[in-house]
Amino acid sequence: MNGIWFVKNNDEIEKPDGAIFNLSPKNNKSNVKTDVENLWRMFSLQYLPEIVEDLLIVGITVFTADKKIPRKIAGDGWSRELNLNIPVLQYEKWNSVKKILDETLSFLSGDKWDISFYSTTERFRGDKVNKKYNIKSASSFDCVSLFSGGLDSFCGALSLLDNKKNPLFVGFKEYNLLLRRQQLLIDSIRDHYSQSNLDFVQFNVSPRRPTNISKGTLFGESTSRSRSFLFITGAIAVAAAVGKNTPVYIPENGFIGINVPLTQSRSGSCSTRTTHPYFLKRVNELLSKLDIGHRVENFYSTMSKGEIINEQKGNFVFKNMYMETLSCSHPCQARYDGESPPLNCGYCYPCLIRKASLVTNGFVEDKYNPHYSLNKEFIYENNKIDGKASDLKAILFTIRRFVDNEGKPFFTKGLLRKQGYLTSKEYELYERLYRESIKELLTMVEYEDKANGGQLKEYMGLK
């Protein structure tokens, strides 16, 4: 494919060579379904600042391309060459940051991005305000925080409120069951922190087939490494409505953030880099060069998941609601086992990190799919390369590798270096974090062996 073109409502482009996506709000014209305009309409704003509108459009278009162009067409079956043409209001500014944007997205998704811009005067859905739900005092908030409904973002919300912040939480409506779970968690927080000023907004982006591509053409991709970039651009839009220089928080444990591959086969883009410090630095560099005054921060960047839970384990809301959070990479798969989704599976990588962090802090009860137990039988029954036990086997390999190499100088630093540039101080901080996170995983393995006769330590050759 020679290129992907995006047009606002009435943009005119001459016979582009490639797929076309129309961002029109009219259902019969648009093939990018979204309610993102509510992020500013609810503040009684007709428009976002031009550069922030452009940033949001870039987030939407990048996510659309990522979701609709299959990785199967790439030479290696993964890393695609993605050429986008995006309409922007501030053409000169965007041309000046093209290199930074391409490099940032390439680091995030593992693809080669080549983004071009063309000038437009067409504003994006700036024709009205939302009168049904109106936030009357945007200035009463002092920060914006992403809220996924996962354990980290839930703890992050509690931490902000405990520190007397007034956060406006932003969620992504990936599917209706998740929307309801996010709202359930927010309602529980709101009830307990009734004296605090907080609110919650959600948005959705759902790409369809390009207007000029036949139905027989392969379009669609299950992975979406760029979702976090879209999530951030939506949060920046909300922050712009709240006030100048309002910070945006993306709470996630540092072990997931640095994301050292569990095995060699999981190197590179097979692992998410959503909150890797290098990615967040590049995002903030991009914002600075665009004269956007908001910064994106992860205040959990040097903390393990267990350390995050340790901070909140005495919190009434945490103790009553942590089991309702969703950390799973496929929470709707439970329906195939006759269970009601969404439900943490208990065996994917995020679930295993979750379980380790909870067990380390004495929380041995949680909601997982009851059809699966972490033991040798589970591994042998799901022994395919991409089987259900693949993440557990990779974690067991990682623990064994750590035990075998713990005393060797530069071992952990060498693993960290493969994932992206870090300063010498960051190496020191993340080496500690990596060790603590592996110890939490080992604690989980020992618990599973004792509680369920798992024989996992025996499987990986440890007594």
According to the model, what pLDDT value does residue 222 have?
64
According to the model, what pLDDT value does residue 87 have?
96
pLDDT tens sequence across 240-277: 999 999 999 999 999 988 877 676 554 444 456 788 88
According to the model, what pLDDT value does residue 27 have?
65
What is the Cα–Cα distance from 407 to 405, expressed in whole angstroms? 6
pLDDT tens sequence across 166-186: 999 999 987 788 889 999 999
According to the model, what pLDDT value does residue 98 have?
98
Residues of the chain with pLDDT under 50: 1, 266-270
Q: Could you state, in order of their start, the residue ranges of all structural domains in the chain?
A: 327-459
Question: Environment class of residue 351 by beta-carbon count within 10 Å: exposed (0-12), middle (13-18) or buried (19+)?
Answer: buried
* Tokens linked to 423: 């300063």
According to the model, what pLDDT value does residue 391 have?
92
* Tokens linked to 29: 């014209």
According to the model, what pLDDT value does residue 263 have?
60
What is the Cα–Cα distance from 199 to 140, expressed in whole angstroms? 10
Q: At what angle do helices 349-360 and 305-312 cross, to 10 degrees?
A: 50
Go through 304-343 and write b for each residue having 16 or more CB atoms within 10 A of its CB, e for each that does not.
Answer: bbbbbbbbbbebebbeebbeebbbbeebbbbeeeebebbb
113 phi and psi angles, rounded to 5 deg: -95, 135
